[in-house]
């Protein structure tokens, strides 16, 4: 496991996440991910800690409303989302583009057809 620090663009929202070294990410083509350009990795919520900025977050839900797409109300960056896995386990979807020290150009990108879900 490795510890990563993540943040929005302006630094109002900061978090720490414990996860396997980031070597791959998921690119989803659903309406929100396609527009935002997120590259995602998923972790149990027990491995995620919001260090700063709870009051700086705005949540957007769409479709079935199962995922909180959190974004900074100052800079608009969606650095993570919160939801549950199909088995009900709380999870966080981490936008790996917002993690310090991750070179997204070196990642194995896996494509998910979220537009058909």
Q: How far apart are CA 43 and CA 113, in angstroms?
A: 20
pLDDT reading at 31 higher than 90: no
| 38-50: pLDDT as tens digits | 999 999 999 999 9
What confidence tens digit (pLDDT) does each residue in 49-63 have?
999 999 999 988 777
Cα–Cα distance measured from residue 26 to residue 43, given in angstroms and rounded to the nearest whole number:
13
Chain centre to alpha carbon of residue 113: 17
pLDDT exceeds 90 at position 30 = no
Per-domain boundaries in the chain: 2-116
pLDDT at 46: 97
Nearest to 107 by CA among 41, 58, 32: 41
Cβ atoms 88, 31 nearer than 8 A: no
Helix (H, G, I), strand (E, B) or coil at 10: coil
Assign a CATH topology to domain 2-116: 2.170.150
Within the chain, where are the H helices?
31-36
């Amino acid at each position: 496991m490795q510890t990563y620090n993540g943040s929005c663009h302006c630094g109002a929202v900061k978090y720490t996440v414990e996860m396997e070294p980031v070597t791959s990410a998921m690119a989803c083509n659903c309406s929100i991910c396609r527009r935002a350009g997120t590259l995602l990795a998923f972790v149990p919520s027990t491995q995620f800690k919001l260090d700063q900025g709870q009051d700086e977050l705005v949540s957007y839900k769409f479709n079935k409303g199962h995922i909180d797409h959190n974004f900074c109300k100052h800079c608009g960056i969606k650095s993570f989302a919160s939801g549950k896995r199909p088995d009900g386990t709380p999870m966080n979807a981490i936008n790996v583009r917002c993690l310090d020290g991750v070179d997204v150009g070196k990642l194995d990108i896996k494509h998910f057809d979220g537009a058909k879900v």
